[in-house]
Structure 1
């Protein structure tokens, strides 16, 4: 049986460092696995950073020559190796 792709945007592999800040969990640095027009997947290795589905976080790409914008994102998927974040302004996509 063929799996149906539910994502509305094409993903592109991207390994970038991002800071993710949560209201109660604090701020941590992670790597991304992929990005799309709708969001990113953040890889969590040993960190105890476990946001709940629907939680809002602030994400900022690290290591650029100038500070990147801080983006509001929503946790929309959780797996054993990380979590999927959707740009807050794309929640209706």
Structure 2
């Protein structure tokens, strides 16, 4: 299988608050992070649908992290892949 990833993924576990318009707010953990997005661990029944948008904010830092918009781009049994949405 050919790896088509554009960005190098870095394994990292931290808490992130995800907010979805219909599903509300959830506090989950990350599995990995890249310049293009993040993979978060959650149960499939909690997962927003592919193509939907969420906001996310890393938790537990000394200062408040920025809130970023992300799109759900893939789902796996242990979580979802989120792509950072750039504001042009």
Tell me whether 1:50 sits opposite 2:47 in the alignment. yes
Max radius of gyration: which structure? 1
1:88 alignment counterpart? 85
Q: TM-score, normalised on structure 1?
A: 0.88
RMSD: 1.4
CA distance in 2, matches of 1:50, 1:16: 18
Q: TM-score, normalised on structure 2?
A: 0.93
For these two proteins, the number of residue pairs brought into alignment is: 87
1:19 alignment counterpart? 17
Query: Over residues 30-76 of structure 1, what are the superposed CA-to-partner deviations in whole Å (9 max), with x where a residue is unaligned?
Result: 0000000100000014x842211110000000000111110000000
Q: Which structure 1 residue ranges, 4+ long, deviate > 3 Å from structure 2? A: none
Match of 1:66 among 63, 67, 74: 63
CA distance in 2, matches of 1:15, 1:50: 18
Question: Structure 1: which 5+ runs fail to align?
Answer: none
Question: Structure 2: which 5+ runs fail to align?
Answer: none
